[in-house]
Amino acid sequence: MPFDQLRPHIKPTLLLAYPVVLSQLGHILVSVCDSVMVGQTGKLPLAAVSLGVSVSTVVMIFGMGLSFAITPLVAAADGKRDVSALGHLLTGGVWLSSVAGLVLAGVGFLVAPFLKYLDQPAEVVALAAPWVRVMFLSLFPLMIFQGFKQFAEGLGLTRQAMILSLLANVVNAVLCYALIFGNLGAPQMGMMGAAWATLVARMLMAVLMGTYVLRAKRLAPYRAAATHWLRPAGATLRRLVGLGAPIGGQMMFEMGAFSFSAVMIGWLGATSLAAHQIAINVASVTYMAASGVGAAATIRVGNFRGHGDAAGARQAGLAAYLITFLFMSTMALVLIGGRHRIPYFYNHDPEVVAQASLLLLIAALFQISDGLQVVGLGALRGLEDVKIPSVVALLAYWAVALPFGYWLSTRLQMGATGVWIGLLTGLTLVAGLLLWRFRQHSASLVAPAQASLAR
């Protein structure tokens, strides 16, 4: 597509994306802060955090995927100026997210006893189990936050969540500093201090985001149209679940692959697991930035679709692709240049630093693939195309990436490097297939519209 057709979409996408990017970064920076501070207490706690994150994130990501269904439906209803539908989506989205969060929080108490069966170092499992319980508990307020946030973002109101995420990061950082090391008169709790800090920060996010949506004057018409908070419309819930479950499944397949890769690396010992946590933590920062552009693509594509402008939806999606390609190419160069320095922010063990530096080089290579696949998912969500991407994710990660990584790691004795090359292969495959899918699907919507105009 000529750049002249994409140019008008660049600035609006960036203006919409940058608050979402900062908000998404807020989620991952909580983990970065936890990992950096916990890493100062030793290699074993850092490895335990890696194991705990690998387990809790798979469940968390399914819940977040479920809530992501709210945004494209809100964007489409907003495009049609359907206030009644927006009221139903407000109650249904918050209700579904809250119930999902309650269920996910309870899952943590069932998961923790099974960590010992993952064949990880015993001392790592002992540290990880209580950490996992608290992190799962924090999923309840996180999902309440998501319900309100995704509704607001569907209307293009992205700055509020950004501000709250940045505030929560400040709170989390101060509490980590106090509780991990026993500063500011707080008890010295070690890595458990990071878990409790995250719980408090997420509770704050839920309260403040809910307060904004329930009190802001500009949202008054949708609150007035919202009825039966405890008994949302069944049709709305079915639409949310029908769209959200495949999104959550796709995200869980992807994150599950990364989490299981951590389990495989854990078989190699605490040093490899600690190095993996550093590399995946750094890569997650750039991923979340690209994810913010993907969220902007969901909003803009969904809004154009609601207006009945198929050509605009296609152009908006391809503009998001271009922005992400340029950004992630730059981040790849940053990781290549800083791969020998970045690990020292986390840990000073020479073996950990050496392995992390090598893994960061591979992370630099998959920056573009990682960014393009997440923006592709966002653009397809705007078209409410979610089932095929979930199948693509299942096959690419679990039928290709993990088996290939395991083969490289064990048969060719490449260790953690082999596992990461497998992940690179899966990401590249998904990115290519989703780009093809978006081009084909969006073109199929444009063709009938052009034929109608010709008549």
Q: Tell me whether residue 225 is in a domain.
A: yes
- Whole-number pLDDT of residue 196: 93
Residue 27's pLDDT is 64
Q: Does a structural domain hold residue 455?
A: no
* 251 C-beta neighbours (distance < 10 Å), count: 24
| Residue 101 covered by a domain | yes
Mean pLDDT, each 10-residue run in order, the chain (455 residues): 76 81 70 74 78 79 88 86 90 93 87 78 83 91 94 86 83 90 89 90 93 92 80 84 86 81 82 84 82 87 85 90 93 91 86 90 89 91 85 88 91 88 92 92 74 49
Whole-number pLDDT of residue 330: 93
Between CA 121 and CA 132 the distance in angstroms is 16
pLDDT at residue 454, rounded to an integer: 46
The whole-model pTM stands at 0.74
Widest CA span of the chain, in angstroms? Answer: 76
| Contact between 363 and 279 (Cβ < 8 Å) | yes
Residue 338 lies in a domain: yes
End-to-end CA separation in angstroms for the chain: 24
Which tokens in the block code for residue 144? 């309440």
Q: What are 33's two structure tokens?
A: 């802060």
The whole-number pLDDT of residue 280 equals 83
Q: Report yes or no on 282 lying in a domain.
A: yes
**What is the number of domains present in the chain?**
1
**Structural domain for 45, as ranges:** 3-450
Asked if the structure places residue 84 within a domain, the reply is yes
